[in-house]
Every structure is written in C-alpha cells, then in structure tokens.
Amino acid sequence: MKGYLGREDLTANALRDGWYITGDIAMLDEDGFLTITDRLSRFSKIGGEMVPHGRVEEALQQAAEADIQVFAVTGIPDEKKGEQLAVLHTLDESKIPDIVSKLTANGLPNLYVPSRANFIKVDALPLLGTGKMDLRSLKRIALEHLAKDVRREG
C-alpha cells in the first residue's frame, strides 16, 4: 500500500518504515505461514501497562475449564488507572469467584486479574455475522452495566 488517496495524515499514521501497520498481531511459523492471532486494539492500558485482552480471556477459559468461549474481555475508563478490565460471561454467577481466585494461582499477573465487580452475566457473547466477537457491542454492554460504578469510583 502506498497510502490513502489525498489523506497524508492517515497515511502518516498507517505507514512506518515502508510497512503498513494493520494493528494485527501475528505468528510466523517454521514453514513461513503467517497466522493472525489477535488485534493490538484488544489491549487495555492500566496504570501505564499494556494488558492484552486475549491473554486474560485465555486464562479465564482455562480456569473455568471451558471448551467453548464463555468470556469476552474489554476495557472501560478508570479515572485513577486509565482503564480497567470488564468481562462478559455466560456462566452461572456462582462459578465466578472460584475462577477469579484461580487466575492468580495459575500465574496471571495481578494487573491482568479483572475485579470481581466487573463481571457481567449475559445470555450470549456479542458476535458479528462472521462469527467474530463484536467488540463495539462488547464495550457498549460493559459500559452500560458498569458506568454507574465507574462514575461513583471517580
């Protein structure tokens, strides 16, 4: 890609050293195949540290011993730390305290452990027609459910 037509500002943000920055995180395997594994935008900046939502989701899935995706993580504003994690889930609420306690026991850094108060029970995780997570709806639902608490803490 050479740039955005007539938009030098967008081109300057998208190209670095001749490379188009897509925001994707990928792995290159030993056979030379590239696999997109995540998006850079799936991070929260908490207290100056970047916390990857995918890693938190994986740890939650593992702690819950879930075979299908039952957690989705997003970031919401936090006046003191910049952002905080919010988790949508489809599990019985009674399972959440045990899952949260397993996170630290399994070696997840404390900064990556979502507050128990930021878990939101939903009937189904928001998906796009493609089957991928609907990140906008995920954030909107989290903000709708937790906005009162965010304002009260600030």
pLDDT averaged per 10 residues, the chain (length 154)? 86 83 78 75 86 94 96 93 95 96 92 96 93 90 80 44
Q: Which residue spans of the chain are classified as CATH 3.30.300.30?
A: 41-153
Asked whether the whole model's pTM tops 0.85, one would answer no
Q: Which residue spans of the chain are classified as CATH 2.30.38.10?
A: 1-40
Burial class (CB in 10 A: 0-12, 13-18, 19+), 115: middle
Domain formed by 1-40, architecture: Roll (2.30)
Q: What CATH number does the domain located at 41-153 have?
A: 3.30.300.30
Given the structure tokens 């991928």, which residue do they identify? 132
The per-residue pLDDT for 153 is 45
